[in-house]
Structures are given as structure tokens and as C-alpha cells.
Amino acid sequence: MSESAKLLDGKALAKRVLAELGGRVQACTAAGRTPCLAVVLVGDDPASKIYVRSKERKAASVGIETRDHRMPATTSTEALLERIAELNADESVHGILVQLPLPAGVDERRVLEAVDPRKDVDGFHPDNLGLLMLGVPRFVACTPQGCMRLIAASGIELSGKRALVIGRSNIVGKPVAQLLLQQNATVTIAHSRTADLEAEVRGADVVVAAVGRPELVRGEWIKPGAVVIDVGINRVDAGGDKPKLVGDVAFEAAAARAGWITPVPGGVGPMTIACLLANVVEAAEAASS
């Protein structure tokens, strides 16, 4: 990486966020309401199990209680909805996380919409997405929130800047575009039908890449001094025993031109978990007020 590009260290920033959360968790616990996250994992997806373990370890590190709800891959939509209804009614549970992806045959949309919006710490419920659209968010989806905190750490003034979001998912692309817009950036959303992605990237002061295609964004496209937030985590064959993890941006070449850039891994990922736990604490604080 060239000396001109500074690394946006998600691990270090997440550590600071978690340290701040620790005091708030203690205050909630002292008031008799320990923040509690219920994690619902359906099936045996190995990656999902790893993600859940990581979230639970980080939660424990700041005093947040977690409750595991493991259900077999054969679980029906109706059975899963019944479990969510139980968690919605449990006043000791402040946040509900349904680990995605769900097994084939389970209606993901019905499941996510069944979560009480006041416990939707993932920020996926239509109520919470709608509030974000209106500029009065309750819970912001964790990865977009992490992206914004990383951008803030770069010190860039977003007002008037050109921001490009590559990807239009409801989980990352659309929410992060709204957050950038609320900071008065001029926002473009690019996607698979975008005619000239290179031209869009070359004109952007901020690039958020969240499309899931290995090194789609070439380093020479990056505007000199731009802030690059790489959400992608792609496993590619590097010729060894283990696959190599790469982002949606060609890191080394991009780092030679960017002002700030996130690594993969160690950039957005740690911030996603930290922001999830921040949402759990906010939910507990709101429930006790």
C-alpha cells in the first residue's frame, strides 16, 4: 500500500465502540435490565455458525446476554414464526437476530417482518427501513452503520461530495445510500445494469462497494484521494490449501490512489458486529425509559 493511502482499521474502531458500550451496558444492568440478544439460527450452515459464535463472544465481552435458539433445517416457516412471537412477547429480550440465510423453503420476508420493529436490531424490518427513508431512524442496519462510522473516521466532510454506492440490496446498498444522502452527499447507486461503472467510480469522492464480486472495482479507476469502503468478502482460489479472502475492490492498486481505504478482512466486518451490539444496547435503553 502506498504512503498516500491510510488504512481505515475496522478492528481498532470496533474496539473503541465496544469499550464505550461497556459503560452503557453496566448502567442498564445496574437498573435491573441487562441488555439481551436472542439469536435464532436455523439449520447447520457452517459460515452462519461462525458468525453467530463471533457475535456472541463480542456480546459477552461487554456484558450483553445472549440466548441461543437453534432450530433444525427442516423447521417450517410457521414454526419459526411461533418462536419469533415468543421472543417478541419476552420482555427480558431486547434484540432479536435471525441469522441469514434461512434454509430453502422458509419464507424469509415473512420471518423478518414478524420481528417486533422495536427488537429488530438488524434494521431489516420494513418499519425501520421506512423510518430511515424518512430521516428519523430507529435502528439502522449494522453494515451500513459501520460503513458510515468508518467514513467518519476518515475525517472527510461529506456535504457536497460525490458518493458512489455499488450494490442495491435492502441490507447494505439502499440503506447506506440513504445515510450518505442524509449527510448531504450527492449519491449515485450503481448496479449490474450500470452502463459505465468505470466512469462512475472515477468521479466519486467516496466509493462504497457492496456487490459481492471479487475485485470488480479496479484500482486505476479510483479517484486520487477518494475514501474507499469495501464491504465485499469473497473467497477465491489462491492455489494453496486455503482460499484467499478478497474484497470487491482490487486492494493494492486502489490503495496506491485512495486517500483512505478499508482492508478485507479487518475493515467493515468488525464494525458490523459492533454496530449490532450498539443497537441491542439502544433497544434495552429504550425499553427501560
Which amino acids are annotated catalytic? 55, 99, 122
Angstrom CA distances, 164 to 75, 208, 228, stand at 40, 6, 10
Beta-carbon neighbour count of residue 126 at 10 Å? 13
* Chain centroid offset of residue 104 CA: 23
Residue position matching grid coordinates 456472541: 56
102-113: b (≥16 Cβ within 10 Å) or e = bbeebeeeebbb
Answer whether 26's CB lies under 8 Å from 63's CB.
Answer: yes
* Phi, psi of 133, deg, nearest 5: -60, -35
